[in-house]
Each structure stands twice: as structure tokens, then as C-alpha cells.
Amino acid sequence: MKQLVFILGIVICSLSSCKKDMNQKSNAGEQLSEELITISPISHGTFVMEYEGMVVYVDPVGGANTFKNYKPPAIILVTDIHGDHLNIETLQAVSKEYTRIVAPVAVIDKLPDSLKEKSSTLVNFQSKGYTFGKVTMDVEAIPMYNLREEALDFHPKNRGNGYVVTLANERIYISGDTEDILEMRQLQSIDKAFVCMNLPWTMTVERAADAVLTFNPKVVYPYHYKGNDGLSDVGKFKEIINSGNKDIAVRLLNWYSNR
């Protein structure tokens, strides 16, 4: 019943009082339009996707001003509890009455009641569909966790979510904070992949590239690549991918400069 109310609410919203908000022009930062989906990197693990009015924020942090030139989100995906993925003040600032927050249990447990009311819990391997206007987006929660013994406490198994989003007939993988786990390597039919690579929190460039060559997406975007020693060498990541499989396109976007 709650899901039905949400769907009806956002459809009504899109036709009336929310129309002005959702028609704001999104013109800030770098945007990459491939086919019908527009991708706008914000910083580190944060980005915005849009398709025919369906606006999706991934791990929005940085406060309201960071998103002042972007359309408000219909859906917000949150991967984990750490501050570079979960910021309650930002969620409160960017959410509208029709916004749905999709997150693992550990994240939703930390939200105030006002945000819990508009939240949808996904556990690993669970999937749900979300509708805004005429657009439906399917979201599947994918495991994200560490493998190295010294890193196991950073991201324990079953706490956070990676996601596979199906939008505009494309399957889009969002890794969240993870190493090159079996569940990543077994992904199939991925059109776009956002893959992390930073130590000590996630994995090396080499391990990320090896995983990508295994699950073979059409396009891969290295993101979330700032670690304790600065930025990971995404140029090297691109070289490894290009040498291993020239059919995988590597897109290097501006995640950190001037931010």
C-alpha cells in the first residue's frame, strides 16, 4: 500500500505542483550524455543521472548548494553509512515530497523519521521498481564489501549496497565501496559500470581493472578513486582495460578538479 501511495504521489506531483521543480535546467558541472541518459559527476562517489525527467542522485553529499543547478531527485540511491556516501543534512535539503530514498537497512536506521517515511529498504539481491511519470526504473541491490583481512571492518558483508539500475533499457552498475568480489565478477549484461578504486578503503587499480575485464561492461567509469595517498592512477586503469579488451570504453570524468 505504501508503494502504491508513493507511485500515485509522484505521478500526481509530476503533473501539477512539482512540475516547476522538475523542469529546472540542469547545467552545472560536467555532463556526459550517452544515448538518452545524462550523467553528471559531482565528486568522489556522488553523481546525478537523468532520463526523461527521472532524476537519480547517487550518494548525495556536500549540502544543498552543491546541487543548486540540478533538478531535484525522484530517486536517491545511498550505498553505505560513511560520511562520503550518507549525509543527512544533504538528504533533507535536496529531497522533495515525491523523492524516494533507496538504501540498505544500516543507512535507513540512521535517518530521522521525516526521511524514513520516504525511504525504501533494499537488501542484497532484492530488487524493486520505482516509477516517476512515465518512466520506470528497476533497482537491484548488489553486495559490496572488503576482502583483505586488514580491511574487513571498513565495509563488512551485508551492510552496504552496490546497485544495478535498469533505466532506458540499460543496466548500470554502481559499485559503492567494495573490492573485486565474486558478486561483481559474476555480473552480466552491464552497459555502464561505475567502479571504485582507492586504498585502503576499497581496492587497487589493478584489481578493479581485472574485475572489469571479467564482467565485461560496455562502458566503465572509474569513480571514488581518492585514497589516503591522493588520487589513484585512473590513466593506468584505462591502459589495462584497453590492453585487455579494446571493446570496453573507459570514460574518465572530472570527479575532483576544482571541487
User: Mind listing the pLDDT tens digit for each residue in 25-68?
Assistant: 333 445 555 568 999 999 999 999 999 999 999 999 999 999 99
Residues 6+ apart with CB under 8 A from 182: none
Whether the model clears a pTM of 0.75, i.e. scores above it, the answer is yes
The grid coordinates listed for 50 are 537523468
Report the DSSP beta bridge partners of residue 33: 38
Residue range 139-177, pLDDT digits in tens: 999 999 998 677 677 889 989 999 999 999 999 999 999
Q: How far apart are CA 146 and CA 143, in angstroms?
A: 10
- pLDDT for residue 19 is more than 50: no
CATH superfamily of 2-12+31-250: Ribonuclease Z/Hydroxyacylglutathione hydrolase-like (3.60.15.10)
Collapse the DSSP code of 212 into the 3-class scheme (helix H, G, I; strand E, B; otherwise coil) and give the result. Answer: helix
Q: How far apart are CA 93 and CA 116, in angstroms?
A: 15
pLDDT for the residue numbered 35: 62
Give the gyration radius of the chain's Cα atoms: 17
CB-neighbour burial class of residue 75 (10 A; exposed 0-12, middle 13-18, buried 19+): buried
Contact assessment for residue 212 and residue 239, using Cβ atoms and an 8 Å cutoff: no
Quote the Cα angle for 225-148-43, to 5°.
Answer: 15
Furthest CA-CA distance within the chain: 53
CA 114 to each of CA 35, 108, 148, 150, 180: distance values in angstroms, whole numbers, following the listed order:
36, 11, 37, 37, 36
pLDDT for the residue numbered 239: 98
Cis peptide before 104 (omega within 30 of 0): no
Domain ranges for the chain, please list them: 2-12+31-250
Residue range 176-234, pLDDT digits in tens: 999 999 999 999 999 999 999 988 989 999 999 999 999 999 999 999 999 888 899 99
Q: Cα(first)–Cα(last) distance of the chain, in Å?
A: 42
pLDDT class of 84 with cuts at 50, 70, 90 = confident
